[in-house]
Amino acid sequence: MNFNSDLTVDRRSDALTGRQIDVVVSGSIGSVEAVKFIRSLRRLGAAVTPWLTSGGAQFVTPLALAWAAGRDVRQAFTGDASHIALGDACVVAPASANLLGKCANGITDTPATALIASYLGSRKPVLILPNMHDSLAQAPAVMKNRETLAANGAQLLAARVEEGKQKFPEPAVLADEVAHRLNRHAAKEAAVLVTLGTTRGYIDDVRYLSNYSTGTLGSLIAEELYRCGIATHVVCGPCPRQPKSYTSLAAVATNEEMTAAASAAIASGADAAVLAASVLDFTPEHRASGKIPSSANSKLSLNLVRTPKIIAGINPRSGIKVGFKLETDLTATRAEALALDYFAKYQLSLMVINDLSQVDATRHQAYVASYSDARAGKGRLELQLLDGKNAVAEAVAGHVAARLRG
C-alpha cells in the first residue's frame, strides 16, 4: 500500500512502540468498532496488520480496516505463508462464538484461525475478546471452548456487559488493556498508587470547602502507568475527569478517607506512589449536623485547622515517590527552592511544581524536578520546564516505570 499522510495517527503514548500486532476481526456486530480499535493501537505506537474473516466482512469492509491500519487486510492464504506467527502478539477483537469453537478445537481452515493456532503454538501472546449475546456466552460448549483456550495460553479480555450482551468496550480503553497485558512482564508485576482529584472539608451536611481540580493530569498519569504494564491503584477525590484505564479505583471525599485508602494501597504492596491529588491544607474544625439555616445569622464564622500532610505518611518501599505543588507567581528560582525543601522533607524521587496562571482544564506548564542520580537521590538538582498535560504525564510515568524496571 502506498504511503498517504491521511493514514497517519497522532501518537498519544509509546507504550506499544516497536510492537507488531496482528488483529483478527470476526463475525460479530462488535466488528464495527474494529476501525477505532486499530487506530487506538496505532496511537500507542503499534504497527497493526488486520485479518478479516468471512463473517467479519459482513459487518465491516476490508477498505475500512486497511485505512485504519495503514496496510492491506489479510483475507486469504498466500504463498508467503503469512498465516505463520511472526508478530509480537495476536488480538482477536471481536471473537464470535464460531471463531472461539474453531480456535479451541484446532480447526485451521481459514487464514485467521491458522494464524491464531500458529501464535498459540509459538507460545506468543494471544488476546481474545468474546463478543456475543449472553445466551451464547453461557452456552455449555462456548464456556468449554473459553476454558480450553485459556488452558492453551490465550488471554480472555473482558467485554462491556450491557443489555444482556457482551459488547465491544470503548476502543481506546481496550487498546490500553492490550498494552497493559503485553507490558506486564517487563514491569515485573509492579504496582503503583496514584492519588488524584481534590478533597472536601465539610461545614455541615450540605456545604463544604474544597480546592479545584479537574483530575485531568492525575488521570493521564494513571492511564499511562497502566499502559506500561504496572498495576495501577487509583485513589480518586471528587473531580470531573477520572481515569478510564486502571487496576482498581477507590472513590473518596475527605482527607481522612484519602489517607486511609492511600495507606491501605501501600500496606497492600504498592511499590511506588504518585501523589497528584489537590488536598485541603485546612478544614473546618467542626462539622455541623444537618444544614445550618441560612436565615439564622447574617454572618457565619468558621474555625479552620491544619490537616496532616498525606504525603508525609505515604512511603513506598522502593523509595519511588512523586510529589506535586501548586504555587502562584512561580519562577525557576522559587521552583528549585521548593523542590529542595520537598525532596528533603518528604523523601521524593520526583517533584512537579505548577504555576496557577499556567494551568487550566486544557493547558499545563510545569517544572519537573529530579536529582541527576535519581536512583540514589543524589547529584545536582535538575529542573525541566514542560509544556502540556501529556508531556508532564509522560515524564512522571516514565520516571516511575524506569525506576520500577531497574
DSSP-based three-state secondary structure for 175: helix
Strands (E), 96-168: 126-130, 132-133, 155-156, 160-162, 165-167
Q: How far apart are CA 354 and CA 191, in angstroms?
A: 26
Predicted local confidence at residue 294, as pLDDT: 82
106 contacts 142 by C-beta, under 8 angstroms: no
Predicted local confidence at residue 372, as pLDDT: 78
Domains 5-183 and 191-405 share a fold: yes
Q: What grid cell was written down for 212?
A: 479545584
> pTM, whole model, 2 decimals?
0.95
Question: Domain-by-domain residue ranges, the chain?
Answer: 5-183, 191-405
CB atoms within 10 A of CB 82: 16
Predicted local confidence at residue 13, as pLDDT: 96
Q: CA distances (Å), 168 to each of 174, 313, 321, in order? A: 9, 41, 36
Mean per-residue pLDDT over the chain, rounded: 95
Predicted local confidence at residue 3, as pLDDT: 53
Residues of the chain with pLDDT under 70: 1-5, 296, 374-377
Compute the Cα dihedral for 60, 63, 66, 72 and give only its sign: positive
CA dihedral 206, 208, 212, 214 (to 10 degrees): -40
Out of 3.40.50.2000, 3.90.1170.10, 3.50.50.60, 3.40.50.1950, the CATH code matching 5-183 is 3.40.50.1950
Out of 3.40.50.10300, 2.60.40.1180, 3.40.50.150, 3.40.50.300, the CATH code matching 191-405 is 3.40.50.10300
Q: How far apart are CA 240 and CA 262, in angstroms?
A: 20
Q: What grid cell was written down for 92?
A: 482477536
Q: What grid cell was written down for 10?
A: 497522532
**DSSP codes of every residue in 261-326:** HHHHHHHTT--EEEE--B--SEEES---SS---TTS-S-----EEEPP-HHHH---TT-EEEEEEE
pLDDT digits (tens, 9 = 90+) for 122-135: 999 999 999 999 99
112 contacts 53 by C-beta, under 8 angstroms: yes
Predicted local confidence at residue 1, as pLDDT: 45
Predicted local confidence at residue 5, as pLDDT: 67
List b or e across 194-214, with b for residues whose CB sees 16 or more CB atoms inside 10 angstroms. Answer: bbbbbbbbbbeeebbebbebb
Predicted local confidence at residue 362, as pLDDT: 82
Predicted local confidence at residue 376, as pLDDT: 55
